[in-house]
Amino acid sequence: MPNLLKDAPRQLLKMSQDRLREVVREHEAHLAGRSDAKPAQLAYTDLSDADLSGANLAQADLTGARLHRVRLDGARLSLSKCPGSDFRNATLDGADFRWSDLRGACLRAAGLNDANFAEIEGGDAIAPVYDAEGKLTDASAQARRPLDLSGASAQRADLAGANLGKAFALHADFADANLGQADLSGADLRKAQMVSARLNDANLGGSDFSGANLAGANLAGAKVGGANFAGADLRGAILDQAMRELPEFAEAVFAALSRHSREELGALLERHESWVLSEGKQGERADLSDFDFSGMNLSGVNLMGALLERACFTNAMLASANLALARMNFADLRGANMRKANLRGANLSRAVLDGVDLSTSNLAAIRDEARAGRVARTNLGAAKLKLAKLVNANLSGVSLVGADLREADLTQADLTGADLSDARFTGAVLTGALLVDARLDGARDLILPN
């Protein structure tokens, strides 16, 4: 744990916006290899209200700096030194802080949406405390501070492998964020919003998630010894089979198990198919929400329009299945085979489809000409499709807003008119993919095909 008191000045430095621009230009020249250019030394400087949007401050020294309300949208600060720095109410949306030192930093109520904080060092530090005028206070003698993320908005942020041990993140919003393999041991995450967040293989030991919303979150492989999940919403969350029986989850809120057994499934499917073929006049619509289909062979099954929210289809065979207009939000489809499946107009928002084979499947939007051309888009908003196979898939008109498509194979996929806003494409293959009229606002790491 660093002790920043010994080098802390009695007064924070002030810097004008013009001088700051000069420092940033010089730092960028330094990074470009100009031998006479100096790196930015902004330690213990008051930069409050500055606009540094898009600036390249990689490897800069911001130790103990005050950055209240600073705009750092899209800025690059990888490998920067920020221990004890104060970013409260700052806007860091889309910023790159990979591998940075943020021990004892304050990011209270900051905007971190779509930012990259992978593998940061965010433990605690003995940091100085300055008053409103920038003067060192006597409170610094006892100022052991954890990383403060309370009230921060970090939707879709990448915190994979980050050290967030003992972090204070009360009411923070980590919806759809990636915290896989992160160290959250001893962290205070009471009432945090973590809907559909990745926490797989993370260290959650001794952390406090009481009252947090973890609906649809992935906790597979996470260490949870001594954690507090009292009152936490874990409906639709992915846990290892034995985890639900652990005492840490005794007071958590889980979705009710499906009222149907596997023995009843055949009859349920028959009644549902009758409902589909008769357009609702006969049979009964299947409500198989929270049902466990894992490992089952459902090739060619007709579940058109079925209710399948939070259902588990891990490693299931769904080749050529008809799932058009089905409600499958928060469904767990990891490792499923869905080749040639019909998913047109289905709702798969926040579903987990990591490693799913959707090759030659049809997810195109449905246009109802009889109803003034009304369109039913297939909804994959915030869905997890890491390593998914979408070769030759028809994704025309689909909504993939905020979806995770890292390392997905979209070779020859038809994405005509698709909405890819804020989707993540790191390592994705798009050879021969069609993107005519696709919406790409905020899409990250997208390398367009030639």
- Report the 10 Å Cβ neighbour count for 373: 8
Q: Is the pLDDT of residue 134 over 90?
A: yes
Distances (CA, A) of 161 to 117, 199, 295, 347: 9, 10, 31, 31
What is the fold, at CATH topology level, of the domain defined by 173-252?
Pectate Lyase C-like (2.160.20)
* Backbone phi and psi for residue 248, each to the nearest 5 degrees, phi listed first: -60, -25
Q: Do the domains spanning 173-252 and 255-450 agree at the CATH topology level? A: yes
- Residues of the chain with pLDDT > 70, as a percent, come to 97
State how far the alpha carbon of 89 is from the alpha carbons of 48, 72, 384, in Å.
10, 11, 30
Contact between 268 and 286 (Cβ < 8 Å)? yes
Q: If 0-12 CB within 10 Å is exposed, 13-18 middle and 19+ buried, where does residue 10 land? A: exposed
Rounded Cα gap, residues 430 and 410, in angstroms = 5
Q: How confident is the model at residue 141 (pLDDT cuts 50, 70, 90)?
A: low
As a whole number of angstroms, the distance between CA 138 and CA 3 comes to 15
Average pLDDT, the chain: 95
More confident residue, 373 or 305: 305
Q: Closest Cα partner for 393 from 385, 382, 404?
A: 385
Q: Which superfamily does 255-450 belong to?
A: E3 ubiquitin-protein ligase SopA (2.160.20.80)
Question: Contact at 8 Å (CB) between 413 and 390?
Answer: yes
Report which secondary-structure segment, H or E, holds 384.
Answer: none
At the topology level, CATH places domain 1-148 in Pectate Lyase C-like (2.160.20)
Q: Which of 129-133, 320-324, 445-449 shows the lowest mean pLDDT across its residues?
A: 445-449
* Nearest-angstrom CA–CA distance, 158 and 10: 36
pLDDT band at 307 (very low <50, low <70, confident <90, very high): very high
Question: Which has more pLDDT, 5 or 43?
Answer: 43
Query: Which tokens is 92 given?
Result: 């860091």
* Interacting residues of 75 by C-beta distance below 8 A, sequence separation 6+: 52, 53, 54, 55, 56, 57, 92, 95, 96
Percent of the chain predicted with pLDDT > 90? 90
- DSSP-derived pairing of the beta strands 13-14 and 144-145: unpaired
Task: Check: CB of residue 168 under 8 Å from CB of residue 150.
Answer: yes
d(CA 149, CA 161): 17
Whole-angstrom distance, CA of residue 289 vs CA of residue 17: 56
Model confidence at 369, in pLDDT bands (50, 70, 90)?
A: low
pTM beyond 0.85, yes or no: yes
Question: Taking the domains of the chain in order of start, what are their residue ranges?
Answer: 1-148, 173-252, 255-450
